[in-house]
């Protein structure tokens, strides 16, 4: 089980990037290739599973760098350093090991707004955070953006049939139709989990709860009672984070 999981993760991280998802922009007369933030986040979800990874700001960041005003518009500059945490699975000679891997990197963002300097601050902060997340993720492998740092783009494929890097851990539900009660409950779990993570709260308790209730060795399916209990737990976390 562990060996297959290690292989799956490694293959998913080092998979080719489909050329169709690569964007480009001009910088000082040069064309630069990049991945959009939503693609990298989706890729992290595909490889590690929703709510199985997280990031946090490094102390002292986001950092305001200054404001320019050009053509009557505010242009605000920010730098942000984040710490990306992903689950680490390894197989040793005499034991299996679960833990976390952390990667730190820094990003830059500038926000432009002709009406409000505050809105420009918001844009710059968000852009620098996304840039930092993408830069940290690229250290995980080719499919996370590392392939674009190779000028030959040897790991960019024209004909790739992009499919989700399905997490191979035991599924919570097997063969549940989209109209079934349990499928609806799972959709609710996913939605609430996403809101909790996007709120920027410490998800350590959530990870501990998931690990305790649905560890990698669990074989049975998730039933409706368990699903409803999980939803209530997540909603309490969401309510607590908003307080």
- For the segment 48-75, the average pLDDT, to the nearest whole number, is 90
Q: Where are the domains of the chain?
A: 170-243
User: What is the average pLDDT score of the chain?
Assistant: 77
- For the segment 215-238, the average pLDDT, to the nearest whole number, is 56
How many residues does this entry show for the chain? 243
User: First-to-last CA distance in the chain?
Assistant: 41
Name every residue whose Cβ is closer than 8 Å to that of residue 112 and which is 6 or more positions away in sequence.
73, 74, 75, 76, 120, 123
pLDDT at 130 over 90: yes
Tell me, letter by letter, the H, E, C secondary structure of 179-210: CCHHHHHHHHHHHHHHHHHHCCCCCHHHHHHH
Tell me the two tokens of residue 231.
Answer: 């939803």
Give the predicted TM-score (pTM) of the model: 0.64
Name every residue whose Cβ is closer than 8 Å to that of residue 142 and which is 6 or more positions away in sequence.
13, 14, 15, 16, 17, 155
Write phi, then psi, for 141 (nearest 5 degrees): 160, 175
The pLDDT value recorded for residue 243 is 59
- For the segment 150-164, the average pLDDT, to the nearest whole number, is 76
Q: How confident is the model at residue 219 (pLDDT cuts 50, 70, 90)?
A: very low
Tell me the two tokens of residue 18.
Answer: 């489909």
Q: How confident is the model at residue 108 (pLDDT cuts 50, 70, 90)?
A: very high
Which residue has better confidence, 34 or 161? 34
Which residue has better confidence, 159 or 149? 149
Q: Residues of the chain with pLDDT > 70: what percent?
A: 60
Tell me the two tokens of residue 213.
Answer: 């209730």
Tell me the two tokens of residue 33.
Answer: 């290739």
Range name among 116-125, 139-148, 192-201 with the lowest pLDDT average: 192-201
Q: How confident is the model at residue 4 (pLDDT cuts 50, 70, 90)?
A: confident
pLDDT at 81 over 90: yes
pLDDT at 220 over 50: no
């Amino acid at each position: 089980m562990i060996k297959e999981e290690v292989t799956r993760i490694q293959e998913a991280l080092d998979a080719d990037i489909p050329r169709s998802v690569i964007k480009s922009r001009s910088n000082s007369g040069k064309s630069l290739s990049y991945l959009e933030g939503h693609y990298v986040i989706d890729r992290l979800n595909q490889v590690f599973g929703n709510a199985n990874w997280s990031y946090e700001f490094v102390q002292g960041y986001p950092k305001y760098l200054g404001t320019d005003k050009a053509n009557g518009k505010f242009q605000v500059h920010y730098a942000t350093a984040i710490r990306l945490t992903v689950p680490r699975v390894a197989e040793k000679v005499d034991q299996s090991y679960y833990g976390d891997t952390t990667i730190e990197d820094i990003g830059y963002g500038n926000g432009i707004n002709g009406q409000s300097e505050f809105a420009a601050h918001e844009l710059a902060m968000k852009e620098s955070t996304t840039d930092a997340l993408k830069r940290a993720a690229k250290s995980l492998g080719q499919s996370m953006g590392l392939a674009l740092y190779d000028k030959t783009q040897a790991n960019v494929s024209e004909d790739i049939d992009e499919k989700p890097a399905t997490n191979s851990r035991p599924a919570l539900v097997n063969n549940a139709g989209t109209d079934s009660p349990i499928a609806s409950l799972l959709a609710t779990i996913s939605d609430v989990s996403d809101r909790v993570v996007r709120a920027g709260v410490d998800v350590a308790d959530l990870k501990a709860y998931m690990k305790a209730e649905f560890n990698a060795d669990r074989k049975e399916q998730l039933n409706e009672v368990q699903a409803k209990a999980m939803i209530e737990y997540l909603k309490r976390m969401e309510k607590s984070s908003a307080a």
